[in-house]
Structure 1
Amino acid sequence: MSDCNCQFVIFGATGDLACKKLLPALYHLHCAGRMPDELRILAFGRRPWDDKGWQDFLHEQLETYASNYQADHFADFCKHFEYVRGEIHEPESFVRLRALLTPEGAEKPAGTIFYLAIRPTDFIPVVQRLSSAGFNQEGDYRVVIEKPFGDDLESAMQLNEQLHNHFREDQIYRIDHYLGKEIVQNLLVFRFANLAIEAIWNRNYIDHVQITVAEDMGIENRAGYYDQAGALRDMLQNHLMQVLTLIAMEPPPSLEADSLRDEKVKVLRSIRPIPKSAVTAYAMRAQYGPGVVHDKHVPGYQDEAGVEVNSVTETYVAAKFYIDNWRWRGVPFYLRTGKRLAAKTSSVAIRFRHTPQQLFRETSIERIEPNWILLSLEPESLKIEIQIKEPGLEMRVRPVQLNASYRKDGEQELDAYEALLLDVMEGDRALFIRFDEVEWAWRVVDPIIKSWGRETDYILTYPAGSWGPDEATRIMDKEDHYWRNQI
């Protein structure tokens, strides 16, 4: 096990995020022998439980959400936990928390981590009360917050100012679980550890880039949040934009946190501003209607529980961005995400330019299709699509895929949250988001947000179970550009 000595406080320990992601991730780390031996976890919640009540609840959640749950590991896992009953809006609860974390005469722990698995509206009240209780800039304290980091540029700036009133930037861990995915991290190795790839990773060879995050599920029980946020804020501004920076960034001088994040910010600062008068040429939105997903009839967004009447919140967004630097100028980056689509998939599809056709003009080959690099984040795979000659006397070609699968038989996948939680415990900030990344990502999409904020009467629709609206191709630069749904 790791010898990292720290304490871990989970605010919102009985909420959806903790139950579905954090608790299973901690359990998997424990089973794999990756969790620090002395790790002490305080589950902070409102329910009137003792430790036994918490353990019963924990057992139920792990049975539901942890993969490969084994009851014989549960007793040892529970030894790490203490349940703390409290209200996040009561200062007295934080005084009690202080006494538990730093009992009189006890040796000071190497680090105390506060994971805010709570509503974004509660971030600042909790941070303020942590600071008032003495958990602030003077100690080894780390605060982990989940997206959304604001809901527009102005609110993001305000949130950051409030956070910095109580904690230093190096104490704040803004988590985007996409950055913890092994295939996303493998993108850095694929690019920078292979000279043959890096040599062609530019506008001279690459025609365009597509980034897709498609979900087959609807909004489930998140109408209260989702109807205010929409697909642009929920997914594109953060997850997809982070993947874009990893694809487009220059080689950093090292893998240190700030070196990586400096290069990502350079990408965001180089994205061409979208003119207010041309938003419709750069972005489009739509909302799912009734349809069939996996042979099951599902309702449209307007019929989901909790959605406002005549809501124009987008459940699908497609947008185009240009990066005006020496490597990428003129190469469109197409980003799209949506709910109730035909399949659940996350992918990056990079299309290369067409080859000159003169060599084959006297043959039966009518057209040579371009090469692709196809990176699937879910399920994980990495493929290169090339053209070969078909067997036979005639000169005909067909595409084949070279599969660069990197996981050997028996090798276990490390969940994104598991990787990121380990990084927090070890103080590694490389895969966490610095505020200037948040700021510039909001600056990129701000013209779209403002334009759509004025359009409150109508929104396009697409049938659930499809790949989105046909109109999504209108943002593309060329007639032979099309969305790559299958890789």
Structure 2
Amino acid sequence: MDGAKMDQSQNLPCSFVIFGATGDLAAHKLLPALFDLEHAGRLADNLSIIAFSRREWTTDDWLEYVRSILKNKLDQPSCQALLERFLARFRYLRGDLKDVDSYHALAADIAPGSACSRTVFYLAIRPADFVTAIKNLKVAGLNEPRGMNRVVIEKPFGEDLESAQVLNRVLHQYFDEEQIYRIDHFLGKETVQNLLVFRFANTIIEPLWNRNFIDHVQITVAESIGIEKRAGYYDRAGALRDMLQNHLMQLLTVVAMEPPPALEADALRDEKVKVLRSIRPIAKRAVHAHAVRAQYTHGNIDRQPVVSYQQEENVEPDSITETFAAAKFYIDNWRWRGVPFYLRTGKRMPRRHSMIAIRFKHPPQQLFRETPLESIDPNWVLLSIQPEESMHMEIHVKQPGLDMNTRVIQMNASFLRTDEQTLGAYETLLLDVIEGDRSLFIRFDEAEWAWRVIDPILKFWTVEREYIPTYPAGSWGPAEANRLFDSDDQVWRNEL
């Protein structure tokens, strides 16, 4: 083995520890993603996975649980052998996050003294337990040697600016920044990554990507689901903390960033931080004009009746937690000065749908004012993130015939061929953690500046506790969201 390959192999972890292994995040995201990586042949042969949870299970109980989770993926006879190979990686360790002895048992379970001693600690636990887990990892010596092991933190990173700074100080007491992976799964989606190529590898696109040609930008992350037994977390967090501060702000930075000098982790993140630092601060008196919140009432999703948020299990009957949040931001730099960025997210909307919609300005000359084309709709670039991942550009063409009539056609810039498959967001990010690539993870100053941007809104809504607007489940949100627009011809784009 040559020196480069040897160095790479020594950088790979041999242990992957999942804290909260029996929770929803592990069941719905982590275990299926790790299995897909197994299927793709991307996991090293010597990688073992330790499931850490407080349930009184044996390893055999755990393996049966994993089989039940992955049963929908076993559609071919060959998958059974693949599953057995995957299951052979696992050990189950019963432990309590607050019990120091459990961490000492974990340290004893991780093979000491081997040539490959790196470990990934994935905190698939409640944000309230992050500090406890981090401190106990230190007590058991699992943060040593510094610079070796990796710790993965799920969003939200803190619940406001001050708590994020406290959490970061605790992390940096025991881990170096290079060991910390703050994960936002939206950054692992192919469309988001492909946006960098779409912008910076195409000379027909990048010259138009500025205030001279773009009228406004919309970023929508809509969910048809409710809170799904997450009332304990969600009723404290709300849509602003849960989605807008992290997912949507990250999408905004990818749309608005300048080209980095190199495709390196810190170079990419430097440009994203510049965007966040350039966002115009929202004064307390201007919050009402820049942000809207609302809560869903009863309605219908896919023709099925659903209850209101206040009737969800374990939600306070008089709760005013927002399940919809929309905000308008301006980026005061040379590229974007004066261009509004409209962000919105909500639960119990008509369907699961995430999209970046860029609307261009009207042509400067009304060349067709004495024809049937007196008013022409503007051009759009539409980037669908989920459920499908695709790119579209809307342009006008003349309809056949004698009259000057047009129709809008979509130029599909989909990057995925019919015979191609791609890794999902969590698969991509887990592989990056294992391989030590931090490009798609969030540096603390990104998280800190995102909190600084939304902190005025958060504080204003915390004081306003008497009333919250509502919207029917199955709708695209409250009518109040329309007041964010700067002009009458700006409307929310709900469809591709």
Separation in structure 2 between the aligned mates of residue 390 and residue 189 of structure 1, nearest angstrom:
33
State the shift of 1:420 in Å: 0.4
Query: CA-to-partner distance for each residue in 1:377-400, whole Å, 9 max, x for gaps?
Result: 011110000011111101111211
Q: Show structure 1 runs of 5+ residues with no match.
A: none
Q: Which residue of 1 aligns with 2:476?
A: 467
Between the aligned partners of 2:416 and 2:384, the Cα distance in structure 1 is: 13
Aligned: 1:54 with 2:59? no
Tell me the distance in 1 between the aligned counterparts of 2:288 and 2:186.
Answer: 28
Deviation at 1:91, TM superposition (A): 1.2
- With over 3 angstroms needed to count, the CA separation of the structure-2 counterparts of 1:253 and 1:23, relative to structure 1, is same
Look up the equivalent residue of 2:292 and give its one-letter code.
M
**Residues 29-50 of structure 1: CA deviation (Å, up to 9, x unaligned):** 1011111111111111122222
Aligned to 2:267: 259
Pick one of 138, 163, 172 that aligns with 1:164.
Answer: 172
Match of residue 371 from structure 2: 363
Structure 1 position 147 matched with structure 2 position 135: no
Per the alignment, residue 254 of structure 2 pairs with 246
Tell me, in whole angstroms, the C-alpha distance in 2 between the residues paired with 1:361 and 1:291. Answer: 44
Deviation at 1:302, TM superposition (A): 1.1
* Aligned residue number for residue 486 of structure 1: 495
**1:434 maps to 2:434:** no
Per-residue deviation, residues 329-381 of structure 1 (Å, max 9, x unmatched): 00000000001111110000000000034321222212111110000001111
- 1:129 CA drift (Å): 1.0
What are the within-5 Å matches in structure 2 for residues 25-44 of structure 1? 25-44=33-52
Contact 2:13–2:120, Cα closer than 8 Å, also in 1: no
Shift of 1:413: 2.6
Distance in 2, Cα, partners of 1:279 & 1:234: 19
Residue 79 (structure 1) aligns with? 88
Q: Which residue number in structure 2 is paired with residue 63 of structure 1?
A: 71
C-alpha distance in 2, partners of 1:430/1:277? Answer: 37
Higher mean alpha-carbon deviation, 110-119 vs 321-330, is at 110-119
Does structure 1 residue 113 correspond to structure 2 residue 123? Answer: no
2 CA distance for matches of 1:230 and 1:88?
Answer: 25
* 2:104 match: 95
Task: Tell me if structure 2 keeps the 8 A contact 1:179–1:431.
Answer: yes
- Paired residue for 2:204? 196
Give the Cα separation in 1 of the matches to 2:390 and 2:117.
Answer: 38
Residue of structure 1 aligned with 2:359, choices 338, 351, 359? 351
- 1:396-448 Cα offsets, whole Å, 9 max, x none, are 11211001111112211311010000000111000000000000000000000
Of 205-214 and 126-135, more deviation after overlay is shown by 126-135
Which letter maps to 2:376? I
Structure 2: how far apart are the matches of 1:439 and 1:276? 19
C-alpha distance in 2 between matches for 1:290 and 1:48: 39
Residue 98 (structure 1) shift:
1.1
* Corresponding position of 1:307: 315
1:405 is the counterpart of 2:414: yes
Matched, 1:457 2:466: yes
How much does 1:99 deviate?
Answer: 1.4
What is aligned with 1:231?
Answer: 239
Residue among 13, 22, 30 paired with 1:22: 30
SS at match of 2:268: helix
1:180 aligned partner: 188
CA RMSD of aligned residues (A): 1.3
Q: Within 1, Cα distance between the matches of 2:349 and 2:228?
A: 14
TM-score, length-scaled by structure 1: 0.97
Note if contact 2:74-2:80 (Cα within 8 Å) is conserved in structure 1: no
Return the alpha-carbon distance in structure 2 between the equivalents of residues 196 and 401 of structure 1.
Answer: 17
> Partners of 1:134 and 1:221 in 2: how far apart?
35
Report the TM-score when normalising by structure 2: 0.95
Question: In the alignment, does 2:404 pair up with 1:395?
Answer: yes
Provide, for residues 56-103 of structure 1, a one-character-per-residue CA deviation record: whole Å limited to 9, x for no partner.
Answer: 111111125x58583332111111111112112111111111112143
In 2, are the aligned partners of 1:236 and 1:335 still within 8 Å (CA)?
A: yes
Which one-letter code corresponds to 2:356 in the other structure?
V
* Pair 1:272 & 2:280 matched: yes
1: CA distance, partners of 2:357 / 2:267? 26
Query: Once the two structures are superposed, what CA deviation does each residue of 1:296-355 show, in whole Å capped at 9, x if it has no partner?
Result: 011111111111121111111110000000000000000000011111100000000000
- The Cα offsets for residues 235-259 of structure 1, whole Å up to 9 and x where unpaired, read as 0000000000000000000111000
Q: Distance in 1 between matches of 2:39 and 2:479?
A: 47
Change (3 A) 1:110 1:199: farther
One-letter amino acid of the counterpart of residue 52, structure 1: D
1:228-281 CA distance string (max 9 Å, x none): 110000000000000000000000001110000000000000000001101010
Distance 1:163 1:301, change over 3 A: same
Change (3 A) 1:195 1:110: farther
Cα drift, residue 457 of structure 1: 0.8
Separation of aligned partners in 2, 1:162 and 1:358: 60
* 1:6 and 1:425 in contact (8 A); partners too: no
- Is 2:236–2:321's contact at 8 Å kept on the other side of the alignment? yes
Letter in 2 for 1:475: L
8 A contact 2:293–2:324 mirrored in 1: yes
Query: What's the CA shift for 1:110?
Result: 4.6
Q: Is the 8 A contact 2:238 2:322 kept in 1?
A: yes
From the superposition, tell whether residues 356 and 365 of structure 1 become closer, same or farther in structure 2 (CA, over 3 Å).
Answer: same
SS at 1:36's partner residue?
Answer: coil
The residue aligned with 2:425 is 416
Equivalent residue number for residue 135 of structure 1? 142
**2:126 partner letter:** R
Are residue 336 (structure 1) and residue 319 (structure 2) matched? no
